[in-house]
Amino acid sequence: MLRILPICLILNMVISCQPVQKEEATAPFVKGVYGNPATLLEAGYSFDSLGMNAVFVRSISLNRSFFDTAKKQGCRVFVEFPTLNGKEYLKDHPEAWPITETGAPAEPADWFMGICPTHEGFKAYRISQLQEILNEFDVDGIFLDYFHWHAQFETPEPILPETCFCDRCTSLFANDFGKEIPGTSIEEKASWILDHADADWRKWRNKQLNGWADAMHITLKQIKPNALLGVYYCAWYPEDFDGALYKTLGIDVTALAERADVLSPMLFHQLKDRPVSWVGEYLSWLDQEILAGSSGKPEIWPIVQAYNNPGIITPEEFREVMVQGSRPPATGIMMFSDVALVQEPGKVTVMKELYQTVLK
C-alpha cells in the first residue's frame, strides 16, 4: 500500500536537506549603479537613501574618499577592470596591435580599440594594475570589462573583424595545433587557418580568453580571497550574427560560468536594437541553457540600459527594463549609468522605488 506522508513532514525533510539553497534564497538582492556613482553624491543624493546596497565603479574613478563614503552608506564596492581595452597601451607597444587576416593592423572598432590577448607584456601590465587596486582597497569584487577579442558589439550593426594573426598568435596556435602552418606571409597563414583549421582556431582563441579569466581569478583570490570575480560580457545568443559571440569575440558563456563568481550580461536593449522584452527573455534562456543543473553556478547580476542612445528611454521604459532585468535567475542588478540618473530625476525616482520597495 502506498504510504502518504504528512505534508508537514515532507516540508521538514525538504528544508533540512537544503540548508545552502535556503540561505542563498534569503540573501539580499544586489542593487547598484555602474559608472562613476560619485556623481550621485555630488548631485545631493546618498546611496542608502536611494535603496542601493552596491556600487560598480570604473577603476579610473575609484579613490579613497568615494570608497569610504560608499562603505559608510552601506554599499559593497565592486570595481570595473578594463581587461582587454588596449588603446592607451598600444601607443607605446605597437607590437601588441591586433592583426587582421590581410596582415594589416586592425582598425579601431568605432570608439573601441582592443589588443592582442597573447601579448604577455600586456597581461603582466594588467595584473600589476589589478594588484595595485587590491592592495590599496578592500574591495568586494572585481568585474572584468572589455573581455573579448577586438570587436564592437554595443551597436545594432556590430563591427566584427578577424583577429589576431600576428606571428606570435599563429606560432602559438601552430604549437597547440601540433602542425606547422603553411605559408610565408601573414595573409597566407591566415587563409590556410580559416580554410583548413577554423574550428581549432576558434577553440584556441577561446582558450586564450579563458586564460585571462584564470589569471585574473588567481590574482584576485591571492590578495582578497573573499572578493568576487565578475565578468561583463556581450549578451548575444550563440546563433546571433553567424555565431560571432564564440567565433569572433571568443566567448563561451559556459566556460565563463565555470570561472566567474558573477556573470553580468550586458543587456543594453536599445543599443542592440532589441525590444524591452528581450532583457527578460535572455535571462530565461541563460537560466535554462547555461545554468540549469550545473553545480557551483555563478550569481547573475545583469547590467541594463538607462541612458538615451541611440533614442530616448523614458522613465516608464526604464522601469520595465529594470523589472525585466531582475527576473530569475538574477540575484542582483545594476544600471548604466550614473549620468543617466543625474540628468533625468524621473529615472532616479523609478530606481529608488524599485530598490526600496520591490527588490529586497
Give residue for cell 588603446: 87
- 287-321: string of b/e by CB count within 10 Å (b at 16+)? beebbeeeeeebbbbbbbbbbeeeeebeeebbbbb
pLDDT recorded at residue 296: 74
The C-alpha cell at 72 is 559608510
pLDDT recorded at residue 290: 84
Q: Which of 124, 135, 145 is nearest to 57 (CA)?
A: 145
The Cα-based distances of 360 to 52, 184, 215, 319, 329 in angstroms read 11, 61, 34, 16, 15
pLDDT recorded at residue 12: 37
The answer to the question of residue 175 being in a domain is no
Give the SS3 label for residue 139: coil
Q: Which of 58, 120, 112, 97 is nearest to 234 (CA)?
A: 112
The answer to the question of residue 271 being in a domain is yes
Q: What is the 3-state secondary structure (H, E, C) of 167-233?
A: HHHHHHHHHHHCCCCCCCCHHHHHHHHHHHCHHHHHHHHHHHHHHHHHHHHHHHHHHCCCCEEEEEE
Domain that holds residue 67: 30-97+109-157+209-358
The answer to the question of residue 166 being in a domain is no
How do beta strands 262-267 and 299-300 pair? parallel
Neighbours of 91 (CB within 10 A): 8
The answer to the question of residue 21 being in a domain is no
Question: Mind listing the pLDDT tens digit of every residue in the chain (360 residues)?
Answer: 333 333 333 333 333 333 333 334 468 999 999 999 999 999 999 999 999 999 999 999 999 999 999 999 999 999 999 999 999 999 999 999 999 999 999 999 999 999 999 999 999 999 999 999 999 999 999 999 999 999 999 988 999 999 999 999 999 999 999 989 999 999 999 999 999 999 999 999 999 999 999 999 999 999 999 999 999 999 999 999 999 999 999 999 999 999 999 999 999 999 999 999 999 999 999 999 887 656 678 999 999 999 999 999 999 999 999 999 999 999 999 999 999 999 999 999 999 999 999 997
- Give the integer Cα–Cα distance in Å for 185 and 150: 22
Q: Which of 109, 273, 238, 90 is nearest to 166 (CA)?
A: 90
Total structural domains within the chain = 1
The answer to the question of residue 77 being in a domain is yes
pLDDT recorded at residue 293: 54
Q: What is the pTM (predicted TM-score) of this model? A: 0.91
The tally of CA atoms less than 13 A away on the side-chain side of residue 107 is: 6
Neighbours of 155 (CB within 10 A): 16
Burial of 274 (C-beta count, 10 Å sphere; 0-12/13-18/19+): middle
The answer to the question of residue 266 being in a domain is yes
The C-alpha cell at 161 is 573583424
The answer to the question of residue 214 being in a domain is yes
The answer to the question of residue 257 being in a domain is yes
pLDDT recorded at residue 7: 35
- 67-80: string of b/e by CB count within 10 Å (b at 16+)? bebbbebebbbbbb
Measured CA angle at 71 (ends 65, 77), to 5 deg: 90
The Cα-based distances of 313 to 152, 200, 305, 349 in angstroms read 22, 42, 8, 14
- Give the integer Cα–Cα distance in Å for 232 and 212: 14
- Residue 202, C-beta contacts closer than 8 angstroms, at least 6 positions apart: 246, 247, 250
CATH of the domain at 282: 3.20.20.80
